[in-house]
Amino acid sequence: MSFSGGKDSAVLLNIVRRMYPHVKGVFVDTGLEYPEIRDFVKTFDNIEWLRPKKSFKQVLEDYGYPIVSKEVARYLRDLQNPTPNNEQSRSIRLTGYNLDGKDCKRYKLPDKWHYLIDAPFRISEQCCKIMKTGPLVKYEKESGLHPIIGIMACESGSRTRNYMKFGCNAFALKNPISRPMAFWMQQDVLRYIKENDIPYCPIYGDIVENEKGELVTTGETRTGCIFCMFGIHMREGENRFQRLERTHPKLHKYCMEKLGMKEVMEFMGYPWQCDCGGCTACNDRCKEPEEETNEKTQGNQRPVEGVQQEEA
DSSP class of residue 103 equals: B
CB of 127 vs ligand SF4, minimal distance in Å: 3
Nearer to ligand SF4, 56 or 192 (CB): 56
| Integer Cα distance of 58 and 70 in angstroms | 19
CB of 128 vs ligand SF4, minimal distance in Å: 3
Taking each helix axis from N to C end, the angle separating 70-80 and 87-95, rounded to the nearest 10 degrees, works out to 120
| Integer Cα distance of 205 and 219 in angstroms | 4
DSSP class of residue 286 equals: H
Nearer to ligand SF4, 29 or 292 (CB): 29
| Pair 178, 148: CB distance under 8 Å | yes
| Integer Cα distance of 48 and 1 in angstroms | 10
Nearer to ligand SF4, 128 or 282 (CB): 128
| Pair 266, 119: CB distance under 8 Å | no
Q: Which residues bind ligand SF4 (CB under 6 A)?
A: 30, 32, 66, 127-128, 131-132, 224-225, 227-228, 230
Nearer to ligand SF4, 5 or 66 (CB): 66
Nearer to ligand SF4, 92 or 220 (CB): 220
Secondary structure of 187-241 in HEC code, one letter for each residue:
HHHHHHHHHHCCCCCHHHCCEEECCCCCEEECCCCCCCCCCCEECHHHCCCCCHH
Nearer to ligand SF4, 92 or 261 (CB): 261
Nearer to ligand SF4, 192 or 254 (CB): 254
CB of 255 vs ligand SF4, minimal distance in Å: 11
Q: What is the CA radius of gyration of the chain?
A: 21
CB of 62 vs ligand SF4, minimal distance in Å: 13
CB of 224 vs ligand SF4, minimal distance in Å: 5
CB of 165 vs ligand SF4, minimal distance in Å: 23
CB of 279 vs ligand SF4, minimal distance in Å: 25
Report the half-sphere exposure of 102 (CA within 13 A, side-chain side): 8
Task: Please spell the DSSP secondary structure of 136-189, one letter per residue.
Answer: HHHHHHHH----B----GGG-HHHHHHHHHH-SEETTSSS-EE-TTTT--HHHH
